[in-house]
Structure formats: C-alpha cells, structure tokens
A and B are shown apart, each in its own frame.
Chain A
Amino acid sequence: MHNIIAAGENAILIYFGREIDATLPKKIGQFAKQLKNALGDIIIDVIPAYTSLHVSYDLNKINHQALLDKVTVILNQQEDDTSILLPKTIQIPVYYDNEVGLDLERLLLEKNLSKQSFIELHTAQEYWVYAVGFSPAFAYLGEVDVCIQAPRLATPRVSIPAGSVGIAHNQTAVYPTDSSGGWNIIGRTPLDLSLKKPENIDKFHVGDIVKFTAIGRTEYLQSGGSL
C-alpha cells in the first residue's frame, strides 16, 4: 500500500502513490501533520511533494528500523481520519494582460483562445498545492485545464519579475521573487509573496487549495502591483 524507503542516515521517504493524483496532496499534507503530532521532537523536518513525504528524524532518539515500525503503525491508523486538517483556500488576485503576461499573447494564438476564455479557464480551477519548494514559498499548483497547458520555454528567461504567474505543462505557480525560469508567464499578482514578509513562509502548505481571481489594471496598481 505505502512503500517506505531509506533516504539517508536520518531520513526516509514514504510513497503514497506511483502517479500524480489530485487525491494525494490532501492525504500527504494530513499525514505530515499527524506524524509530527504523534512523534514530536523525533521529527526534524518533513517535505511533502506530489506522491511522497520525505521525513528526517533525530537519530539520537530513534534508529531506522524503530522509526519504520512507528511510521507504519501511524500510517495504518491514518486511513479514515480526515478530520485533522481542513484544506485552506488561498485567493490570489491576478492581472492577466500582455503588459505583465510575457507569454500571454503567444499562448492565445497557439491555443486559439480569446483572452476572456483563457482567463476563465485559469480562474475556474481550484488548484491543489502539490509541493512547495525549489525556492522558498514557491508552490507547485495543479492541475491546469488541458486547453491552456503549455510546455516550459526551451530557453529559460534570465529574469522574471516577482509576482509573475506561470504555466508549465499541467502546473501553474507564482514566482515569489525576481528569478530566472522557464514557465509561460500569463499575468502578475500585486501580492508580495516573498520572504521580505517573513509570514509568507507559512503561506502555502501541501494539501491547501489555491484560487486565482482576475483583476483589472486599476485594481492591480492600487493593490501595489508594479509594471
């Protein structure tokens, strides 16, 4: 059912499935919380991502085999317990326009869609947070409607402004800081999701839900968005 493997001298990896699946983020997010509650300071860190949960632990307190035994017991208790974590919904306002959406015009042509239909497709979906990582508070969100999916750029851009909203294959994400990257940029949020606001560290958890809402140019600028 669950496959558990060693990941290091003080780490294991628990697989909850073999393929990416919309039911997994909530399950994995819940289990991460349950495991931390049950094992307290034995757990150093958890990294939920797509189909798996990486767990590092204090090897002064427990060895590999004893940890595997404990985790297995908790996994077996977990199955039906959905009360522990209600997914949080995070709203992100986005200004969808060529002015900030560096790839929007090209995508509309490629997909033969009006801007309005494109925006409707991107905002209609409730996205699961599949993983948080690569860089701080960067949340991988899925799944993007098949009509607006697009592969990564062949050559990543050197610089993408903070707040940019991108699409790569079946996933979408917001760049929290100025960075390089190969996602197709379709708009920008006025929200500051960077760690300049330290509370942003806690913004996204695997198993949360993200909804995008379309805003106009005026509202974007009034909310602190830059061009």
Chain B
Amino acid sequence: MSFKVIKPGFLSTIQDYGRMGYGEHGLSQSGVMDEHAYCWGNYLLANHFNDAVIEITFAGLVLEAKVDTFVALTGAEVDFKINNKAVQIWCSVKVHKGDILSMDNPKSGIRAYLAVKGGFNTTTLFGSKSVNLRENIGAKLVAGDVLPCENHTQANYRTMLKKYKPNYQQALVLRLIPTYQFNDFSTQQHDLFFKQKYTIDNASDRAGCRLNGTPIEYKQYMISEGMSYGSVEITSDGLPIVLLKDAPNIGGYPKIGTVFSLDLAKLAQRPPNTQVKFALININQAQQARQVFNAFFEINSN
C-alpha cells in the first residue's frame, strides 16, 4: 500500500511538523515551510497534527496510487487532477488503486501539500520524517520512489469554510517580535527597517528568505548563539535574512527580531520578487494567536 512517484517535479520532499529536540546536536528544526496549509491538510483527513505529507515546491509532481485511500491537497493553487479530471483542493478526496494524481501549473503560492489519510509512513530519522537536504537527512523524491501509507475505505470527512482559504496574492506584512539584539539597533535603523518595502531574493530557500532593500549600516562583533525559527539576521551587507526551517542552529550575525510563526507560513507561499514589510507585534499577542491556532489543530506540543 503506497504511492509511486512517476514525476517528482521541481522539488518535492517528505515533511512533518519538524525535528524537535536535536538543536543541541547541531540539527535544524526542519519540517513544513507553511504550517497553516500543512495543518489544514491533516485536519481535513482527521490525521494527527504531526503526520508526514509531501511538500511540493513549484508543482510538477505526478503519483500513481497503489492503494485505496483519501488525500487532501492544500497550499499553492495548482491544477490538481486525478486521471486527468480536475479535482478540488482544500478538501478530502477519495483515490483508488491505479489512479494517477497530477499537480501542475501553480497560479498562486509556491508550495502545495499533499496529505494522505494516516500520513506517509517513510523512514523516521532523529524523531522526524522531515527531509533536510542541507544535512543529508533523507533525499528529495525521484521517479520510482515508493511512499508507504495505510489503506482506508472510509473517512471521517471534515471540511474547511471558504473564509479560511488564504489569499497568497495579498500584500504581506510580517509581524516581528522584538527579540535578540532589537534594542541594540538605533531609532534610525529601526525606521529604515520598518518603513521600507523589501523584495524577496531569488536565492531564498528552505534555510532562509533573503530580502533585498536599502542596507542597514550595522557592524558589531557577535559571539555565535542559538537561533530561533523566524529570527531576522542583518548580515554584513546590511540586508535581512529571515531564518526558516532548515537554518543552522547557531549563527553569529546580529538579529533585529523574530517573525511571528503564522506570518512565516504566509511568507513560505510568496515567490521571489514579492514585496514584504515588517511591523511590530508584542510577544503576548503572538503567543495568544499561536495558542488559538494550536488549539484548533490539536497541536499539543509546540
């Protein structure tokens, strides 16, 4: 019982909620880039919040079902077809043995998530199924790969209200918690940072989102220290890098703050050249908003 990869697309990898508890051994958190779309996929199938899915970057994935089960595609708006017939995304869909599933032509957003009932049962390494190419943990999907999963003929359907469907074309403001060296930056530097529109650089990847804009002059010797998901480094060229799921655990650039996690989910769907801005949020507001999200998706460890 499995899915077989016919075409892997540009970059498709197995991801789950993340590899927790290995930061002290030098491992990245890893896991899905868009937690919002990922959580909806597992929710629609009544899965566990940590079940493994396929993260499909820039579409192009084609699979053959070797199993009867249910799937849900969320995230980037792509042409999702089963046996060449268009199928809805953001809802659970029945698939039969022999079906060909294809995901093409992303119109909005850049990462789609294919969840399957019970999750993909690939190898667990260091407590997680998440693939991390930078660390050589697992590999990206290639044609011929077999992705084990469970057989299911009945599902407890869940649906999503239309109003929850995100609009990835919307202007994005990244809410920033003042953390790390925030107070070491001057008022002028804060003004420059918060007033300008940055543009997402082409070299962005799962480790970090690089932003182009007017540089902030900031030179300070820093001792390397632990880095949080979403922390914003100001590198020696004065430009920000928002650290994402595959970022190294430690680093030595000053950090002006940490982006609220649910805004990082939105950032994960913005292609290069998209404009983004920063605005402040306090830590209590961020925690409360995240608690609401966790309660809804039954995430009991975060």
Contacts and interface: CB of A to CB of B under 8 A. Distances in A.
Interface of A: 5-11, 13, 19-20, 32, 41, 44-54, 56, 58-60, 63-64, 131-138, 140, 177, 195, 198, 201-202, 204-206
Contact of B177 (A8, A135, A195, A202): A8
B21 A59 contact: no
Interface string B42-74: 000000000000000000000000000000000
Given A54-B23, A60-B291, 13 more contacts: A7-B228, A8-B258, A41-B301, A44-B301, A47-B24, A54-B227, A56-B228, A58-B301, A63-B287, A133-B250, A136-B26, A137-B26, A205-B24
Contact-residue bracket for chain B: 35 or more
Contact of B24 (A6, A177, A206): A206
A154 B251 CA distance: 19
B283 A46 contact: no
19 contacts: A6-B177, A7-B258, A8-B231, A9-B283, A9-B290, A13-B225, A20-B223, A41-B301, A50-B223, A56-B23, A60-B294, A60-B299, A60-B301, A64-B283, A131-B224, A132-B24, A134-B26, A134-B248, A195-B137
The A interface, classified by DSSP as helix, strand, loop or mixed, is mixed
A6 to B, nearest CB: 4
A152 B295 CA distance: 48
A51 B252 CA distance: 12
Contacts, number: 145
A10 B294 CA distance: 13
Given A135-B135, A137-B25, A8 B228 contact: yes
A131 to B, nearest CB: 6
Nearest to A63: B287
A46 B23 contact: yes
A159 to B, nearest CB: 14
Contact of B287 (A9, A51, A132): A9
A172 to B, nearest CB: 16
Contact of A9 (B20, B134, B251, B286): B286
B250 A49 contact: yes
